[in-house]
């Protein structure tokens, strides 16, 4: 199984935890250059994975729509604006 498949199978929480770990490792600056590059690439994959999971979750969120008298009238798609 390649790294992208492994990343794709991670939950959002697991991917975020690994990304945070990578950031800490890179911030310490103790890893050799080649390892730092590998960590950066893995972090980039994890970042894109987390962004995609958030976008998917946002698309599935619905808000309750209210009528003029304040009574619920149904659901509408989430609008971040």
pLDDT for the residue 66: 78
pLDDT for the residue 8: 78
Question: Is the whole model's pTM more than 0.95, yes or no?
Answer: no
pLDDT for the residue 2: 60
pLDDT for the residue 40: 97
Helix-then-strand count for the chain, H and E: 3, 2
pLDDT for the residue 26: 97
Residue extents of the structural domains in the chain: 3-77
pLDDT for the residue 23: 97
Q: Is 22 helix (H, G, I), strand (E, B) or coil?
A: helix
Q: Which portions of the chain are predicted below pLDDT 70?
A: 1-5, 79-81
């Amino acid at each position: 199984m390649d790294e992208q498949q492994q990343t794709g199978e991670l939950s959002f929480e697991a991917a975020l935890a690994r990304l945070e770990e990578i950031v800490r490792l890179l911030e310490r600056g103790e890893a050799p250059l080649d390892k730092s590059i590998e960590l950066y690439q893995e972090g980039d994959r994890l970042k894109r994975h987390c962004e995609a999971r958030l976008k998917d979750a946002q698309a599935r969120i619905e808000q309750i729509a209210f009528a003029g008298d304040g009574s619920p009238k149904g659901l509408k798609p989430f609008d971040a604006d």
